[in-house]
Structure 1
């Protein structure tokens, strides 16, 4: 596919196959999913064909908005542009006017705005009639297409009326939606259609191979329509914008229509400000540099707040009991658009690494607090973490009575510790400490029935043929125990520190003899009931290399696997058995050749799987073009040679066993934008290449870069830590750090290749006689203590 054109770093454009490509414009209380030709076609599968359109979670408001000028509908866009906080369409001219459309969603409002800009190139004023069609679809985020009850049972027919210059759509159970402009209404009509130039084609299961552009609605659609018309005069060589807002309430409607141009400027400005954190300079990898920058926008687009959640366990769609609790408000990173826009545990736990690396502290803190609040209310404070929480409060999976996913309970304390180390926020740590203790006590007491230390239950891979004890659960449990012990030590909770640290040490000592499969040169995916190894070649085989452990003295230990096994396993994963050859993408397959229950493998490349491999490579100092860079590029490339939206990282990358989203059917696409894949973009750069390793909860910071082979230098400025920032620049053997945050101790250094001998070390030009030299899986880490503020340079000469 052709690469996007970059007008500026803040915009990315594409011009081909626009009707096949989805787009997202999002705010914190609403979002809009359409297509890049300006149309709104049925797509998504949780509620068949209804996951696009305009949403103010937990309520869908409308299928779409369409514009016309005089007697003609605005034609398909000729170019689509992603911006920071907005999207834009270049449109064919009508009535002698040049046309452009801009969509954005103001933060804090349950409303989306669509602006048709009319530019008059001539010397005489032109007066035209602008019309806007809106087709409603009032329905809640749950029930879904296959649940009991299902979406058809829950969705009632909408009605439409005109009131005080606005279209008002109503559904007796779902609520209401409003559509209006900031201009005086000329006239309006309502009725069953009103989809602009789209004919209103309804697709069903029989249309399983149809592209989205063939489907205007799905089988559950019961919306109504309306048209708003406005008289607009465009002066000579000037322009006018007609803004249409679609909102969940009158207050949100009025707020959205109060100077939309100013709100658009404020939205773009806030996104630009967000982008100023973690500004990286990678002269040897500009694509990855741009991916870090655009990843910040992805995470911001996926930041949502939902209110008044009626918490109920729906048992994988088989039940719909009365609510057991009400949560007034949650803020979180949605997993992905359009089918996973709600609160997940395992997704958020991976996304957290990217979030802290790019300075988006507040959202990840609130995400974890929301998971605690839901889980405690749902599971009677057992310590088990709920898996999937819809924005209306329906919990699909993860109650005490269901199997749940053990990995996300094991990962929760590590995520708390991660955020605490980057923010230094002791109050945040304290608020989730008790829950973190209960997480790991629950695993030890309830999910290890044979008492061998290896947890049972589902992990991230949910495939047949696996044994009861999964590799990722074990790996993350060991890491979680170390992280809990670290937090316990900071709180002087000696009993918990001793329990967690002691168990972690025991399991770590037993891990490699139990799980390493010498014949396969990989770790076993799972263990049978008799503790025999089961090797299915799933991506979780990389997790022993992906994790970092925290030692008794607070030192970072990259990788659980010993160096020889870790490097052998990573190298094998780089072969065509486990990774793409570039015909589609170079990323990591879900399941390698000959693996899985059927022995066929699963050559589908997820952005998460690829991230796990990228981080694993970094932990073992494998940063070269055919190692870590291969996998960071695999994730970055689809953002700029887009499958769908330029600048957006999708859930699944074009793969041998699953082609690009742009050619897939209306209900069989993966997410156009997924949060957790940013783990494999931001974290390798900020944490591994730049070597930023904070423990601000204890007042310490280490900066130990490792410049990738074949690259001259790496740098990052305004990296958010605690209440301030740091800048880092590194070339081979030289590291410069500028500190603008409160610290008690600072260590600066560099990472040398394995086997290197240190000749000399200087700090700010003065010789250091006794540097700290530590051999790790990354290589030889050489550090010196430096004053904990200001600018300092360390130079290491090695043999």
Structure 2
């Protein structure tokens, strides 16, 4: 270690909670009072949180520390990131030569996080972290309080651990990490650290008074950073007095001037920056606001909006998109965003959809030579890890159609309709036997499953139907008919070729017997054991014997028992088959949801109804995973085929995960493994609530909305307010009174038509006080505000 002392004194913020006249000044802690929050649980200190902005975020644990976490860049996915570089491993305050240690209470706010230290001690500390919108600055405020009746001298120091280093795949773009160096005091009294061989900088500053850089040494943490000790001259705290120490941290891939400008903006405008973000989150609350009897579901829906905002990332030189999850997927996936966007329509401003799809299309065309193929995963330095699986290009186009239905943006649709034609050419090149079953790896990331996969088949079917709809919008009726005919053929084939009658599910894949035997052996070796899932061993052994004896005559095979829900949610499944599957699938669920590979289901289904993080050790994997994404599919499928009352038990399983570990989130793997915030998890709440329970199905470019509500039988009221549909905001207010159902439906724009679908066996309704007969179960509402009773 190269340890040295320097005695540089700079004018930085220290104590600024009260001025000389005793007038109170701005405090993050004070401003957060009366803001909705969720407190961390007592024994959950090792779980993670994020303090997020669209240009910078910080990840640590509930104890207030910064553990070395993550597997993409091993041990480096926490700390402070300003993509595509990491700035800091973390920081820690010491009071009177003693580290604060673990906080006694963690509190998650929608747009900030708070840590309480040394409660009930003579000197207590409250730390509040905040990141403004569109400004890459982390604001860290320490409120120091003297709880005694005596004057107390306090001596503070802050240790900052730099780690200027590149994002995952950085080496592919020439981003090679080197040792950090301390440059000292630069503009705006900021302490600057630089990567010695790259133009990567990190800056730490504050507001007034003096701060001494006491020492610097090579960091003992992973990477090539340095640890800097910043000493604060001793101060007296009067009896019961509170004072504030506030720091600002930022970075740059250009120069120190950029850091200086950003820190200056933050320091001079912290009050307004906080107020602006607080107001924006109030707007998030009001947009597509839901009021229902199930308060836990209502809370999870609300925090799902916040989770989504935490994952919106603006990266210089790339653009804007939605990260898949944190801490290990802070970049862009096409399939994750497809799933999330299909659930977010109506609840977020559509520019997020437009910007993300524009970025993915541009990068895909570059890496895939304009072939139509859409990339799977791209890091924030623009490097593509996976050029695209065989279902993702279809998903990309299908999601563009969903976005169009909700926004009415024909220019947007035209871009992706034209690209859809390229996708179809690409898919045909990978259908070597011309049977409409595209070959290759789908979304089931299991070794060897690269023949004809179920998810590729149903996404292709939906894609063809989507292209038929798009073609009609642009007046290409002959081409629409061609796509539609192929879609119908493929739908029929899937229900004939892929249905496993003996198991009441759809097969995982279609292949030859030799390949099937190979996959069965692999599953028996790697996924089955007598002391865990003996049922699976018996099933696969029996299947293997039948194949070898020539007794098995089906085209497809159920080996991993992957979910069949996608066939249902995509409208491909016959209703009879869908109901049979839904009746059988509870075998593969526990209190937290659905196993993504049913083969992992233990003989005792209650065996794993607890923490996964505490149970699993070693390399990260999904082998025994229950995932919110899979459980979401079941909730949506039940809404579609049997109704909301059947869906509610699966929604309740999702809710069993909510705040289990990190307040306000559901994990990627239920209940507490993998990403602590995951983009697509909103689908299990948003889609059932908005698109089935409230029953909203728009066609915005026609200024038409179909509403087919399906309220859970236990609900006597429900309200959805200010749902975004095109240039319109839709509100629905439901009340049940004795045997009557009353809906008040309001559009903010006068020129929209609502086609209201009545319940089965209801032929008429009172509309605005007058009886109106339904036309094939539908009543058209043309006023801006309508009341309908039946």
* TM band (smaller chain): 0.7 to 0.9
Determine helix, strand or coil for the equivalent of 1:768: strand
Question: Post-superposition shift, 1:126?
Answer: 5.8
Aligned counterpart for 1:176 among listed residues 195, 201, 206: 201
Residues 1:634 and 1:741: Cα distance change in structure 2 (over 3 Å): farther
What does residue 104 of structure 1 align with?
Answer: 130
What does residue 226 of structure 1 align with?
Answer: 228
Aligned counterpart for 2:510 among listed residues 527, 546, 552: 527
Q: How does 1:43-58 map to 2 (within 5 A)?
A: 43-58=69-84
Question: Aligned partners of 2:492, 2:595: CA distance in 1, in Å?
Answer: 30
Question: Aligned partners of 2:784, 2:238: CA distance in 1, in Å?
Answer: 56
What does residue 550 of structure 1 align with?
Answer: none
Question: Post-superposition shift, 1:448?
Answer: 1.1
Residue 622 in 1 paired to residue 648 in 2?
A: no
Residue 416 in 1 paired to residue 400 in 2?
A: yes
Determine helix, strand or coil for the equivalent of 1:298: helix
Q: How does 1:314-329 map to 2 (within 5 A)?
A: 329=318
Confirm or deny: 8 A CA contact 2:94 2:100 kept in the other structure: yes
Confirm or deny: 8 A CA contact 1:535 1:595 kept in the other structure: no
Confirm or deny: 8 A CA contact 1:357 1:683 kept in the other structure: no
Give the paired residue count: 686
Confirm or deny: 8 A CA contact 1:357 1:682 kept in the other structure: no
Question: Aligned partners of 1:366, 1:618: CA distance in 2, in Å?
Answer: 31
What does residue 308 of structure 2 align with?
Answer: 299
Q: Which runs of 5+ in 2 are unaligned?
A: 1-31, 253-258, 514-553, 608-621
What does residue 566 of structure 2 align with?
Answer: 543
Aligned counterpart for 2:418 among listed residues 412, 416, 434: 434
Determine helix, strand or coil for the equivalent of 2:268: coil
Question: Aligned partners of 1:713, 1:441: CA distance in 2, in Å?
Answer: 49
Confirm or deny: 8 A CA contact 1:691 1:706 kept in the other structure: yes
| CA displacement 1:48-90 (0-9 Å, x = unmatched) | 1000000000000010011123322223211111111111111
TM-score calculated relative to the size of structure 1:
0.81
What does residue 284 of structure 2 align with?
Answer: 274
Question: Aligned partners of 1:411, 1:499: CA distance in 2, in Å?
Answer: 20
Residues 1:7 and 1:591: Cα distance change in structure 2 (over 3 Å): farther
Residues 1:603 and 1:15: Cα distance change in structure 2 (over 3 Å): closer
Question: Post-superposition shift, 1:610?
Answer: 1.0
| CA displacement 1:238-287 (0-9 Å, x = unmatched) | 5332221221132323233334344233222212221211111221x221
Question: Post-superposition shift, 1:122?
Answer: 5.9
| CA displacement 1:486-507 (0-9 Å, x = unmatched) | 2221122334423322221222
Question: Aligned partners of 1:361, 1:149: CA distance in 2, in Å?
Answer: 32
Residues 1:563 and 1:761: Cα distance change in structure 2 (over 3 Å): same
What does residue 743 of structure 2 align with?
Answer: 735
Question: Aligned partners of 1:457, 1:122: CA distance in 2, in Å?
Answer: 69
Question: Aligned partners of 1:377, 1:190: CA distance in 2, in Å?
Answer: 47
Confirm or deny: 8 A CA contact 1:423 1:697 kept in the other structure: yes
Residue 257 in 1 paired to residue 267 in 2?
A: yes
Question: Post-superposition shift, 1:465?
Answer: 5.0
Question: Post-superposition shift, 1:427?
Answer: 2.5
Residues 1:460 and 1:416: Cα distance change in structure 2 (over 3 Å): same
Question: Aligned partners of 1:190, 1:24: CA distance in 2, in Å?
Answer: 29
Deviates more, 1:241-250 or 1:733-742: 733-742
Question: Aligned partners of 1:69, 1:141: CA distance in 2, in Å?
Answer: 34
What does residue 243 of structure 2 align with?
Answer: 240
RMSD, aligned CA = 2.7
Structure number with greater Rg is 2
Question: Aligned partners of 1:95, 1:67: CA distance in 2, in Å?
Answer: 16
Deviates more, 1:493-502 or 1:483-492: 493-502
Question: Post-superposition shift, 1:375?
Answer: 0.5
| CA displacement 1:665-718 (0-9 Å, x = unmatched) | xxxxx1111101111111110111010111102221111110123332332111
Residues 1:34 and 1:742: Cα distance change in structure 2 (over 3 Å): farther
Question: Post-superposition shift, 1:186?
Answer: 2.4
Confirm or deny: 8 A CA contact 1:416 1:429 kept in the other structure: yes
Question: Aligned partners of 1:435, 1:106: CA distance in 2, in Å?
Answer: 37
Confirm or deny: 8 A CA contact 2:441 2:450 kept in the other structure: no
What does residue 575 of structure 2 align with?
Answer: 563
What does residue 167 of structure 1 align with?
Answer: 191
What does residue 653 of structure 1 align with?
Answer: 670
What does residue 772 of structure 2 align with?
Answer: 768
Question: Aligned partners of 2:395, 2:98: CA distance in 1, in Å?
Answer: 55
Question: Post-superposition shift, 1:417?
Answer: 0.8
Confirm or deny: 8 A CA contact 1:472 1:540 kept in the other structure: no
Residue 634 in 1 paired to residue 653 in 2?
A: yes
Determine helix, strand or coil for the equivalent of 2:316: strand
| CA displacement 1:537-589 (0-9 Å, x = unmatched) | 54441111112xxxxxxxxxxx32122111110121122xx111x3xx2x011
Determine helix, strand or coil for the equivalent of 1:363: helix
Deviates more, 1:287-296 or 1:473-482: 473-482
Question: Aligned partners of 1:723, 1:116: CA distance in 2, in Å?
Answer: 44
Aligned counterpart for 1:365 among listed residues 350, 354, 357: 354
Residue 785 in 1 paired to residue 789 in 2?
A: no
What does residue 588 of structure 1 align with?
Answer: 594
TM-score calculated relative to the size of structure 2:
0.82
Q: How does 1:652-671 map to 2 (within 5 A)?
A: 652-654=669-671, 660-661=672-673, 670-671=674-675
Deviates more, 1:476-485 or 1:338-347: 476-485
Residues 1:235 and 1:427: Cα distance change in structure 2 (over 3 Å): farther
| CA displacement 1:512-544 (0-9 Å, x = unmatched) | 112211111111121115881111354441111
Determine helix, strand or coil for the equivalent of 1:449: coil
Residues 1:790 and 1:75: Cα distance change in structure 2 (over 3 Å): same
Confirm or deny: 8 A CA contact 1:186 1:230 kept in the other structure: yes
Determine helix, strand or coil for the equivalent of 1:653: coil
Residues 1:749 and 1:240: Cα distance change in structure 2 (over 3 Å): farther
Question: Aligned partners of 1:750, 1:290: CA distance in 2, in Å?
Answer: 29
Residues 1:383 and 1:17: Cα distance change in structure 2 (over 3 Å): same
Residue 89 in 1 paired to residue 115 in 2?
A: yes
What does residue 679 of structure 1 align with?
Answer: 683
Confirm or deny: 8 A CA contact 2:765 2:789 kept in the other structure: yes
Confirm or deny: 8 A CA contact 1:84 1:272 kept in the other structure: no
Q: How does 1:745-764 map to 2 (within 5 A)?
A: 745-752=753-760, 757-764=761-768
Question: Aligned partners of 1:190, 1:395: CA distance in 2, in Å?
Answer: 40
Residues 1:103 and 1:594: Cα distance change in structure 2 (over 3 Å): closer
Confirm or deny: 8 A CA contact 2:114 2:127 kept in the other structure: yes
What does residue 612 of structure 1 align with?
Answer: 633
Residues 1:545 and 1:170: Cα distance change in structure 2 (over 3 Å): same
Question: Aligned partners of 1:498, 1:628: CA distance in 2, in Å?
Answer: 35
What does residue 710 of structure 1 align with?
Answer: 714
Question: Post-superposition shift, 1:603?
Answer: 4.1
Residues 1:594 and 1:396: Cα distance change in structure 2 (over 3 Å): closer
Residues 1:671 and 1:286: Cα distance change in structure 2 (over 3 Å): same
Confirm or deny: 8 A CA contact 1:365 1:428 kept in the other structure: yes
Residue 157 in 1 paired to residue 179 in 2?
A: yes
Question: Aligned partners of 1:73, 1:649: CA distance in 2, in Å?
Answer: 32
Question: Aligned partners of 1:623, 1:155: CA distance in 2, in Å?
Answer: 53
| CA displacement 1:463-489 (0-9 Å, x = unmatched) | 145361111111111112222222221
Aligned counterpart for 2:693 among listed residues 689, 692, 697: 689
